[in-house]
Structure 1
Amino acid sequence: MMICSKTLPLKHSLRHFLAAAVFLFAGTATAAPERVISTGHSITELVLALGAGDSLIAVDSSTRLPADFKKVPVIGYYRQLPVEGMLSQNPQLLIGGEQMGPANTLTLLENAGVKIVKLPEAENGEQLIANIDRLSKVLEKPATELTKHVVAQLRELKRARTSLSEAPRILFVRAQEGRGLKAAGTGTSPDSLIRMAGGVNAVEFSGYKQLSDEALIELRPDWILFSSDQDAQLQGGAALLEWQPLLKLTPAGKNGAFCSVDGFALLGGMGLASLKEAKKLNEKFSGN
């Protein structure tokens, strides 16, 4: 009887303990993250568009926040994130693209209990929608309205591409005086933007590569694009003609067909800013 009288309260207490533990664990597992660090402009704009701005406590230097958004710390660059600076913000979740790192920083953050979510750098609309869906689950925010908006933009861009009489040949470059031109090939954000706008990349290699003088003529670009962070340096394209006179022999050079692209639309794969830039480019390609 003594044993029985002591065992019943023990079992009773154990049941309550386990029930409480399950309840607490379930609450923790399903709770939306309240302290989020987002890196990469295309990722951060999705976080905001999904309505998770209140949870955002820091961003990296590649992110452009809306002018009326709250002030948050800017911590490093998404490829070189500092451990100490990030841990000082006491984050629950770190979100970024595939290039986020370095690896040892991410390992240390995970060991400290920070959840790490890496999203693929979207190269097309389908991958962008997939990123929205995954991010909505991680942040526990509904994605229906944002997805509808993006799908509508993608349909509009598809119609605009088909309306072009001919796909123009596009060359995206990075340039410095005395150092020639580097062009963006396949597997780059500019290449995705070019295709989304209805153009054809004038180069077929992957990544960024230096162009020879002969190639500048052979590629015959109809348009030459460059990032907005080089707009002043390149004087809207005029400096390119001075640095590389052979460009004057190309259709783009003859017609002065130069265009600056929002640099933030080129960071971290295709994002919402990329769709806006694709529309702008398509209008230029079509003469509107």
Structure 2
Amino acid sequence: MAGLISAHIAPNRLPRSRHHSPLPPIFSPCLSKKLHKIPLGIMGQFKPLTSVITSAQPQDIAAPTCFDNTLPTKEVLEIWRNCEAVCFDVDSTVCLDEGIDELAEFCGAGKAVAEWTARAMSGSVPFEEALAARLSLFNPSLSQLHDFLEKRPPRLSPGIADLIKKLKAKKTVVYLISGGFRQMIQQLFMKPVALQLGIPPENIFANQLLFGRSGEFCGFDINEPTSRSGGKATAVQNIRKVHGYKALVMIGDGATDLEARKPGGADLFICYAGVQLRESVAAKADWLVFQMQHLITSLE
């Protein structure tokens, strides 16, 4: 999932030297554990939105010419090829869809929730505020969630399975860090995303929906670091502190993924825009890619 922040992040950018890159240029048109209960009537606190950004099918698109970071520098490639761990965002990165938008549509509140997601992905509202607002619009029950996952299982992005396989062959440890929900990543009654990719539960950081005894929606666990602004950065910093990785890379499409690129966190932020291009995030990335295959090829 893409992420969001309430302030702009200016990561320490590595110097660019295009002539060092072995990869050919590519072009395309430029696109200008407490229970958190959501109080009734919460939507009265939020203003309606007018713009909508929905998840798109991946396209065989290349890099817009208005970005200067579509070719990796020598320094970026060195970190990427030698990193000990890679953290992936899930929605619109590992998977094609924004999970909460898809669930909301399934429950009959797709347009309203997508409007909030559009605002959230730009980082213009705190993550916890946007998450609470979106969930309050449809209050999904446990049975609805199960029905949704059975009828609309998450779809993997093209090339992601091969990329993760390649990383594992290099003994690189892979993590999933998501502002989405564990139930969509680790669901037990069908083959989950994490199992398909061979990611163990201890390498997953995501939010947790909470339900009552009758399966009614109760809220989400605010103890999860990814339930709030800055959460992905915190998760990445904790991973690095615990395991002592010398080099770690974050890959995602959103503002909270970019935010993970900070001291003690990720050394490198790779923006994957094969599903969603968020220009404010893409412009600040160390490397902007539109196809997983580019990342695979660069490891060879």
Q: Tell me the TM-score normalised to structure 2 length.
A: 0.25
Q: Tell me the TM-score normalised to structure 1 length.
A: 0.26
Larger proportion of helix: 1
Structure showing greater Rg = 1
Query: Looking at both structures, which has the greater relative contact order when contacts are Cα pairs under 8 Å and sequence separation is at least 6?
Result: 2
